[in-house]
Amino acid sequence: MNIVVGVTGGIAAYKTVHLVRLLTKAGHDVTVVPTEDALRFVGTPTWEALSRHPVTTSVHDDVARVRHVALGQGADLVIVAPATANSIAKITAGIADDLLGTTLLATEAPVLLAPAMHAEMWRNAATQANIETLVSRGIHLVGPADGELAGGDSGPGRMSEPEAIFDAAVALLAPRDLDGLRVVISAGGTREPIDPVRFLGNRSSGRQGVALAADAAARGADVTVVAANVSADVLAAARHPSVRVISVGTAAELSTAMKDAARSADIVIMAAAVADYRPASVSEHKLTKEQGVLTHLELVENEDVVSALAVSRADGGAPEGQTIVAFAAETSASADERRDRARRKRERKGVDLLAVNLANAEQGFERPDNAVEIVGEGGEVVASAAGTKREVARVILDAALTLR
């Protein structure tokens, strides 16, 4: 998406640096439009380096491309962070004496303001009247938060944290096509203990499952993530009021949590890498070389969780019309062979859709990007996606939605 980030002259501009990072990392094309005053706080090179676009403040720059209106016309969303009391007054009055002003007047995209000012200025009748006018015109607000302000004051007026502004932006961009649906997603990789310090695990970070959760929540779904050994850092990307996280460790714990959550789910997505086997017994004490026991490990098979969920659905243990999506990590270099295996795997597991990704050193695990083919009934490839895990998530949810 094309996002314009307007920055006006307040100290909170330093936090907008992180917001621009979050937006570009999520795959958005960001153009930063600071005011002259904003550049006193954070300079042009920083904005250009982060957004990878030229940064200007005046309507007289790059006139040939009519930048003063083109930016607003081409935007899917305009964010102003920080929005100072002065800039809020100017936006309310429709003043267009710089590039940000003209961009805001020329845009038909949603506009999100993140106010930042001293508490007195926020409470002032002029500011409050302006805010009321802007809200009545359909302009969106995030914050201000209550807390410590520049100069040691505190009260309402602190700019919302970049993560909160990012979440508000994502919510504004997303269609609400999963409104009212309950989506359950497993993410991460299970760990099967061998002894108190060792386990059998896999390289799944949980990023794809978390991206699915974030996208589903942004589209209005009520989301449960069953997270197997997913780091807090990765989980942070799915922070949303309608996302609930259940942390699990082993395949057995994941199975219990998934069966419980799937009983009321409209869409179930098994993105977790589940261990197919676990050690037949778990040693209470650390196994030592002296014991010479680490050369062989006896394994027993784990239950296939997604197949069990499909069976339970067939037995009426799920809401009418429940959709089940499984994943398959295939390492074969031949696309035909991957499709063939996918066709058989989808049928064997009894799921509606199978998202096949090519897992090797270049793609798949522990990486921000992913590429999948989604196989449906009869082995037909119903969709494919390549890009950020969030983009792949969107396509998978689209495919699940078309089955409903």
Residue 327 in the binding site for ligand CTP (CB under 6 A) = yes
Count the Cβ atoms, other than its own, within 10 Å of residue 16: 31
Closer residue to ligand CTP in complex, CB, 13/213: 213
For the bound state, the minimum distance from the C-beta of residue 253 to ligand CTP, rounded and expressed in Å, comes to 13
Measured CA to CA, the distance from residue 26 to residue 5 in angstroms comes to 15
Closer residue to ligand CTP in complex, CB, 235/356: 356
**Could you say which residues in the range 341-400 bind ligand CTP, by CB under 6 A?**
none
Cα distances (angstroms) measured from residue 232 to each of 42, 207, 227, 401 = 30, 11, 10, 29
For the bound state, the minimum distance from the C-beta of residue 327 to ligand CTP, rounded and expressed in Å, comes to 4
For the bound state, the minimum distance from the C-beta of residue 386 to ligand CTP, rounded and expressed in Å, comes to 19
Element (H, E) at 132: helix 125-136
8 A C-beta contact, residue 304 and residue 349: yes
Closer residue to ligand CTP in complex, CB, 119/245: 245
CA angle 27, 30, 36 (to 5 degrees): 160
The tokens of 311 are what?
């069976």
For the bound state, the minimum distance from the C-beta of residue 344 to ligand CTP, rounded and expressed in Å, comes to 10
Residue 306 in the binding site for ligand CTP (CB under 6 A) = yes
For ligand CTP, the binding residue among 229, 302, 322, 370 (CB under 6 A) is: 302
Measured CA to CA, the distance from residue 215 to residue 217 in angstroms comes to 5
The label of the residue with tokens 């994943």 reads: 327
For ligand CTP, the binding residue among 106, 257, 274, 400 (CB under 6 A) is: 274
Half-sphere exposure for 76 (CA within 13 Å, toward CB)? 14
Closer residue to ligand CTP in complex, CB, 79/306: 306
Paired sense of beta strands 192-195 and 182-188, if any? unpaired
For the bound state, the minimum distance from the C-beta of residue 234 to ligand CTP, rounded and expressed in Å, comes to 17
For the bound state, the minimum distance from the C-beta of residue 320 to ligand CTP, rounded and expressed in Å, comes to 23
For the bound state, the minimum distance from the C-beta of residue 305 to ligand CTP, rounded and expressed in Å, comes to 3
Tell me the window of 3-11, 74-82, 225-233, 268-276 that interacts with ligand CTP (CB under 6 A): 268-276
**Could you say which residues in the range 198-257 bind ligand CTP, by CB under 6 A?**
251
Closer residue to ligand CTP in complex, CB, 164/234: 234
Cα distances (angstroms) measured from residue 363 to each of 125, 309, 385, 386 = 55, 28, 13, 10
Q: List, as one string, the DSSP characters of 94-130.
A: T--SSHHHHHHHH--S-EEEEE---HHHHHSHHHHHH
Element (H, E) at 17: helix 13-25
What Rg do the C-alpha atoms of the chain give, in angstroms?
Answer: 25
Residue 305 in the binding site for ligand CTP (CB under 6 A) = yes
Measured CA to CA, the distance from residue 342 to residue 174 in angstroms comes to 30
Tell me the window of 12-20, 46-54, 112-120, 271-279 that interacts with ligand CTP (CB under 6 A): 271-279
Count the Cβ atoms, other than its own, within 10 Å of residue 176: 11
Of 222, 229, 240, 181, the closest CA to residue 207 belongs to 229
For ligand CTP, the binding residue among 297, 329, 401, 403 (CB under 6 A) is: 329
Which residue type is seen at 259? K
Closer residue to ligand CTP in complex, CB, 7/306: 306
Instruction: Report, as residue numbers or ranges, the catalytic residues.
Output: 202
Binding footprint of ligand CTP on the chain (CB under 6 A): 251, 270, 272, 274, 276, 302, 304-306, 326-329
